[in-house]
Amino acid sequence: MKWLVFGVGAFFAYGRLLCHEAVATSHPMGPVLSAFVRWHLPATAALYMGIFISFIFSLQMRQSYSYQLGQFAAAHYATFICLSSTLVSFAMRAGMFWFALPSLLVIVNDIAAYLCGCMFGKTQLTVLSPRKTREGFIGAAVVTAFTAMILAQSWLSSPWIFEPSNVMLRGTMTEIAPTKMSEFLYLPLGGNYELQLTRAQVHALGISLLVSLIGPFGGFFASAVKRAYGAKDFGNSIPGHGGVADRFDCQVLLLPLVYFYIKACCPDLGV
């Protein structure tokens, strides 16, 4: 039953990705693909309702209710965590910038929070991670913002990082990203002073804000899961960092949010 829930979730998420790509291309769809695009959502709903009804009929013994409901909930939890990567796939259609930058900034933020916490930390941020401090949280936000602006400016010399994939898919030659990302914006600072930043740097600042404010809470969520099951780390492949999974726990919430950031702040990218 758990694998069926996960399978329907994958069918929905990756099916939407396929539908999006099919509609975006300039080539006509065949009858099979057209039928898939037309009936994908109704089929997903029907499959899920079939699983749900089957699960209800499987509740036969009262002493097993708690276990069965827990397993059913765990299946939905795993599906939510794993299939949020589909939103990352959508974000990457706007260019590698939207994947590479937040991924790097998460690591920078984590290291900066550790160093700033060691040097200035006094006030605990949350009981889920006793070593996380408010001073480290604030210091990491400053370091992450400066790193984001430096990376964004240095990447302007590599236009392929900003190249949206839908330029090729839709059969157009419109150059969307490289030219617009290098445009200058002037942010007023008060009086006669203003700050000159490229559009890439402005978006980098927006992403750094997401990284600093939202990213760590993905790590806190992972800490809660570990403590619930009495585990100190997810693994031991990276000494001192709790394995490979601990390097990516902050991205559970962050990377999907980048997709919503693009939809809200960069509608011209057509994602």
Same-domain check for residues 152 and 237: yes
Residue where the block lists tokens 């949350």: 126
Mean of pLDDT values over 117-132? 81
Among 83, 111, 129, where does a domain finish?
83
pLDDT in tens, 54-96: 999 988 888 888 889 989 988 988 887 777 777 777 788 788 8
* Chain centroid offset of residue 26 CA: 29
Which amino acid appears at position 103 of this protein?
S
Among 55, 83, 111, where does a domain finish?
83
Phi/psi of residue 27, each to 5°? Answer: -85, 145
Closest CA to 90 of 258, 268, 267, 265: 258
- Quote the number of domains for the chain: 2
Same-domain check for residues 29 and 99: no
pLDDT in tens, 14-64: 888 788 778 777 677 888 888 998 999 999 999 999 999 999 998 888 888
Residue 122, pLDDT score: 84
Same-domain check for residues 73 and 126: no
Tokens standing for residue 23: 């509609």
Same-domain check for residues 66 and 195: no
CB atoms closer than 10 angstroms to residue 21: 15
Residue 13, pLDDT score: 85
Same-domain check for residues 223 and 255: yes
Does this model's pTM top 0.75? My answer is no
Which domain covers residue 7, as residue numbers? 2-83
Is pLDDT larger for residue 58 or for residue 173?
58
